[in-house]
Amino acid sequence: MPVISFANSKGGSGKTTSALLLACELAQYKDTTLIDADPRRPITEWYKIKGGPDRLKVVTNSDENTILDEIEQASAESSFVIVDLEGVASRLTSYAISMSDLVIIPMKEQQQDAWAAMDVIKQIKMESRARRTMIPFSILFTQTRVVAKSRTARHIAEQFRATKTIPCLQAEINDRDAFSALFNIGGTIHDLKTSDVNNITAAKENANVYAEEVVRILRESKKTKEAA
Ligand SMILES: Nc1ncnc2c1ncn2[C@@H]1O[C@H](COP(=O)(O)OP(=O)(O)OP(=O)(O)O)[C@@H](O)[C@H]1O
Ligand SMILES: [Mg+2]
């Protein structure tokens, strides 16, 4: 059903981490497919460690020639389809964006991530024109500091949030041990133990608030589409 892609041509902006967190949250209640289209295959490697929630299916993308079929098949099978894209602008990225009901653009509160995010927005607008329909998108600030944000970080986030034409998720993904540990320990944040990492409760709360907001956005954009 709804297809949510994670795109930003800036490497390390948090695409894979935010895609995995969302997929695991949604898979607590609904059948969810997570398509691993990151050439380093981090989600596929993560899944090999401990598997994942019962309702989560991981599909490893082959190449740009198969992504449309993979998304179509996953949409027919699952309540949610999440696509983790590679950190470069490519034909594969364009195909996935053109099939998306929502493109999430993860970015750190840093200038280079901001420039790359603006490039992705341009790409989404081009895809929207080609498809003759608006493809909704939203910025997601990632790896944000909970306390003592730098002045630069605050300034960049404020500039984006003040720009009416650039939707930004209220929720941020904080910089947390629990989130990076998943790729080492495997499983979801709900499987982590207090002996594994600090402050699991805050990490769970963060992931939950983020996933709820994404579901709300999808619901609202479906209503808008139906009313049009
Ligand atoms: N919220 C977070 N808290 C802690 N560490 C994080 C967080 N988000 C990302 N990281 C770490 O930062 C690095 C890059 O993150 P990630 O792989 O999610 O980015 P990416 O955009 O998918 O990168 P690429 O463009 O290479 O695919 C990883 O080592 C990851 O563990
Ligand atoms: Mg990645």
pLDDT digit string, tens, across residues 30-43: 999 999 999 999 99
DSSP letter for each residue of 119-176:
HHHHHHHHHHHHHTS---EEEEEEEE-SSS--HHHHHHHHHHHH-TTS-B-S--EE--
DSSP conformation class of 62: -
Under DSSP, is residue 51 helix (H, G, I), strand (E, B) or coil? coil
Residue whose tokens read 């696509």: 83
Assess whether the C-beta atom of 175 lies below 6 angstroms from ligand 1. yes
Q: Which ligand is nearest to the CA of 184?
A: 1
| Ligand 1 atom at minimum distance from 8 CA | 21
**Which of the four CATH numbers 3.40.50.300, 3.40.190.10, 3.30.2310.20, 3.20.20.100 does domain 3-227 have?**
3.40.50.300
The mean pLDDT of the chain is: 95
Please state, in angstroms and rounded to a whole number, the distance separating the CA atoms of residues 56 and 185: 18
Q: What separation in Å is there between the alpha carbon of 228 and the centre of ligand 1?
A: 37
Atom of ligand 1 nearest to the CA of 173: 1
Ligand 1 atom closest to 84 (CA) = 22
Residue recorded with tokens 């280079």: 112
CA dist 210 and 19 (Å) reads 11
Question: Above 90 in pLDDT, residue 88?
Answer: no
Instruction: Report angle CA 88, 95, 20 to the nearest 5 degrees.
Output: 65
User: What's this model's pTM, rounded to 2 decimal places?
Assistant: 0.97
Q: How many residues does the chain have?
A: 228
Q: Is 31 touching ligand 1 by the criterion CB < 6 Å? A: no
- Write the pLDDT tens digit of every residue in 22-71: 999 999 999 999 999 999 999 999 999 999 999 999 999 999 999 999 99
Q: Where are the domains of the chain?
A: 3-227
